[in-house]
């Protein structure tokens, strides 16, 4: 797997390579480091660079220095500095940090008595965007990318008493980054997901994949990989409820392929069946809850377990309901997916980056299908090899985390990217990498269309040739004409493939009323949806919809006073949880599709 060492040397110096992310942290022995961390806001990064702009985190704030006498000059002190809650973004915890983009240092003290023969890792669910991690004054490494997990081993550095873990997090936007400087969501900075200590045996089950083989409904395939000094071991995979088990032996690299037959009740939105799966090595064991289903296409149909399905969806950001800020908790996931279920959805598009693992695991239990994507968004540095390496790393980390989740059926490699040769080369490589990492799921991207005549929308982006499912974002009635324009539009496609209308809709301030031609009223938004539904019903190759968006979310692009106030108002629900009129229009449409044929 491509690791961060191949990415950007954003802070100068060599990057220490993190080990592969450990699979299924929730099933391991963990100690939470969540809670208040001491923090230092460092806009000039004086804790990292000296006055000659030479980086040295171990000589800077990472050293956690204390004056040895009353005369020694030390110009920082974590212990006298304010605190921030982890997980959480810094923007919504202090008013003065709402628009802050730059560096903030985090420090957490802990004790840990590590038994002999055991190993210890520190695991981060995510840190936005560039993290430098130091334990007890020694740099562990760095990670680039704001939405995927990473971990470092600390076995030989941890002490029984008085450990200090320091993390420098920098969310400054950069042209060569993924995403680039121009987005339409809030750049929430900080340690935005769980931080945990993970205790493991000397040789442990580092990663595994357990899913139905492509094209089969009874043959389970996959692999297991060990980490440690005893890499050659006997491994047993058991699914007791299915009466299935198999034994394998890992090779000199700690790897073994897995294959077994099982009579399974297949996972679906109507039957979100999860099996207890146990993997047992000679030195370790781990359990997981895994569903088994097939997903494929045939012409313009999407087939779940061999049967056509229409994806009744909604798009959502990882924006916390009620309080706003980055969503991360069980309550956040339950509220957001609960609203999707209330809307009569069987599908969600998690835009525009991997959401917290709580979302995909809860989607497994609720029976909600998932589109997951990386933030290759709008326009990035297509010809920059470091940018590509960054994007590919985020893709592989996303797949690595969620490859065993039955709910995830679509990996998306891009959103609204401009057509061009460099972009095509970039995205083709990403698609190929995604298929090498996971051959069992479908690949998509959110494309744009062009007008082929006054009332015809044409889908012919060349990227469509290599995608399994076409996504398309369109805003007829909002950015393009008035709502009734949708009544006359016909859709054509150059590809015999299913289409998900991955975005459509319009904005409204909840509680703002007027006639259906007054922009930003609930009536105007409702009219957009009513005319859109009529148009969608006329698209013969349409197999899913995920309008934009479930809930209003913060965006610095949206400045209109009294209406937007730095919120994108296209939500069907306000950030305070109040449903707008368009919610009920979409809810009724989806209700009508529940018992209909797999096309509207």
> What pLDDT is attached to residue 12?
34
Q: How far apart are CA 387 and CA 7, in angstroms?
A: 8
Distance CA 149, CA 143 (A): 9
Q: What are phi and psi of 406, to 5 degrees?
A: -65, -30
In this structure, are strands 542-545 and 469-473 parallel, antiparallel, or unpaired?
unpaired
Which among 372, 432, 381 has a CA at the least distance from the CA of 173?
Answer: 381
What's the rounded Cα separation, in Å, for the pair 180 and 379? 7
CATH, domain range 204-293:
2.60.40.10
Query: Of 312, 325, 285, nearest to 84 (Cα)?
Result: 325
- Predicted pLDDT of residue 451: 83
Q: Is the dihedral of CA 337, 343, 347, 351 positive or negative?
A: negative
Regions of the chain short of the pLDDT cut 50? 1-17, 598-600
Please provide residue 426's backbone torsions phi and psi, each rounded to the nearest 5 degrees: -60, -50
CA-wise closest residue to 130 among 147, 108, 151: 147
DSSP bridge partners of 278: 238, 287
Cα separation values, 397 from 88, 143, 393, 437, 471, Å:
21, 12, 6, 10, 22
Least Cα distance to 387 among 176, 179, 145 occurs for 176
User: Is residue 231 classed exposed, middle or buried when 0-12, 13-18 and 19+ CB atoms within 10 A define those classes?
Assistant: middle
Strands laid side by side in the 307-308 sheet:
295-298, 301-304, 307-308
Other Cβ atoms less than 10 A from the Cβ of 258: the count is 18
The dotted CATH code for 301-505+544-551+582-593 is: 3.20.20.80
Residue from 109, 145, 104 nearest 126 by CA: 145
Structure-token match 């207890």, residue found: 276
Domains 204-293 and 301-505+544-551+582-593 share a fold: no
Domain 4-200 has CATH 2.60.120.260: yes
> 113-125: buried (b, 16+ CB within 10 Å) or exposed (e) per residue?
ebeeeebbbbbbb
d(CA 547, CA 471): 12
pLDDT, residue 471, reads 98
ω into 129 cis (within 30 of 0): yes
Structure tokens at 151: 């971990």
Q: How many CB atoms lie within 10 A of CB 436?
A: 10
Omega before 76 within 30 of 0, i.e. cis? no
Alpha-carbon Rg for the chain in angstroms = 25
- What pairs with residue 248 in β-bridges? 235
State the DSSP string of 400-425. HHHTT-TTEEEEEEEESPPP-HHHHH
How far apart (Å, rounded) are the C-alpha atoms in residues 23 and 208? 7
Q: What is the pLDDT of residue 265?
A: 98
In the chain, domain spans: 4-200, 204-293, 301-505+544-551+582-593
């Amino acid at each position: 797997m491509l690791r961060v060492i191949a990415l950007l040397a954003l802070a100068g110096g060599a990057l220490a390579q993190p080990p592969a992310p450990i699979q299924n942290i929730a099933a391991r022995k963990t100690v939470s480091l969540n809670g208040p961390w001491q923090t230092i806001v460092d806009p000039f990064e004086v804790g990292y660079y000296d006055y000659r702009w030479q980086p040295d985190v171990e000589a800077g704030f990472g050293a956690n220095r204390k004056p040895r006498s009353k005369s020694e000059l030390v110009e920082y002190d974590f212990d006298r500095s304010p605190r921030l809650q982890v997980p959480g973004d810094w923007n919504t915890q202090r008013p003065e940090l709402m628009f802050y983009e730059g560096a903030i240092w985090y420090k957490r003290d802990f004790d840990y008595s590590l038994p002999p023969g055991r190993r210890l890792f520190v695991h981060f669910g995510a840190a936005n965007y560039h993290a430098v991690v130091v334990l007890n004054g020694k740099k562990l490494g760095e990670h680039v990318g704001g939405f995927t997990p990473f971990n470092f081993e600390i076995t030989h550095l941890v002490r029984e008493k008085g450990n200090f873990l320091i993390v420098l997090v920098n969310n400054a936007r950069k042209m060569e980054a993924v995403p680039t400087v121009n987005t339409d969501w809030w750049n929430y900075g900080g340690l935005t997901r769980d931080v945990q200590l993970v205790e493991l045996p000397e040789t442990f089950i580092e990663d595994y994949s357990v899913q139905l083989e492509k094209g089969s409904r009874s043959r389970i395939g996959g692999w297991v990989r060990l980490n440690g000094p005893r890499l050659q071991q006997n491994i047993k995979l058991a699914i007791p409820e299915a009466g299935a088990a198999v034994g394998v032996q890992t090779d000199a690299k700690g790897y073994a392929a897995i294959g077994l037959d099982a009579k399974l009740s297949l996972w679906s939105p109507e039957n979100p069946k999860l099996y207890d799966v146990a993997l047992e090595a000679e030195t370790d064991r781990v359990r997981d809850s895994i569903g088994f289903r097939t997903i494929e296409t045939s012409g313009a149909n999407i087939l779940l377990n061999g049967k056509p399905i229409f994806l009744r969806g909604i798009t959502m950001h990882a924006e916390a309901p009620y309080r706003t800020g980055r969503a991360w908790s069980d309550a956040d996931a339950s509220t957001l997916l609960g609203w999707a279920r209330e809307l009569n959805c069987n599908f969600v598009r998690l835009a525009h980056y991997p959401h917290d693992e709580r979302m995909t695991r809860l989607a497994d239990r609720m029976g909600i299908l998932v589109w997951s994507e990386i933030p290759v968004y709008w326009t990035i540095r297509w010809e920059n090899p470091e940018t590509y390496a960054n994007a590919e790393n985020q893709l592989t980390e996303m797949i690595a985390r969620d490859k065993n989740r039955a709910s995830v059926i679509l990996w998306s490699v891009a959103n609204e990217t401009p057509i061009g040769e460099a972009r095509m080369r970039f995205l083709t490589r990403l698609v190929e990498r995604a298929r090498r990492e996971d051959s069992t799921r479908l690949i998509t991207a959110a494309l744009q269309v062009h007008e082929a005549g006054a009332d015809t929308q044409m889908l012919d982006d060349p990227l469509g040739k290599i995608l399994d499912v076409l996504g398309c974002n369109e805003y007829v009635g909002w950015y393009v004409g008035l709502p009734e324009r949708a009544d006359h539009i016909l859709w054509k496609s150059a590809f015999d493939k299913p289409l998900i209308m991955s975005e459509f809709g319009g904005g409204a301030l909840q509680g703002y009323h007027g006639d259906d031609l007054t922009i930003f009223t609930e009536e105007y938004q409702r009219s957009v949806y009513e005319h859109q539904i009529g148009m969608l019903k006329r698209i013969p190759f349409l197999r899913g919809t995920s309008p934009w968006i479930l809930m209003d979310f913060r965006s610095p692009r949206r400045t209109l006073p009294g209406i937007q106030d730095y919120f994108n108002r296209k939500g069907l629900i306000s950030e305070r949880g109040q449903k707008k009129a368009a919610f009920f229009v979409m809810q009724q449409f989806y209700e009508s599709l529940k018992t209909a044929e797999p096309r509207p």
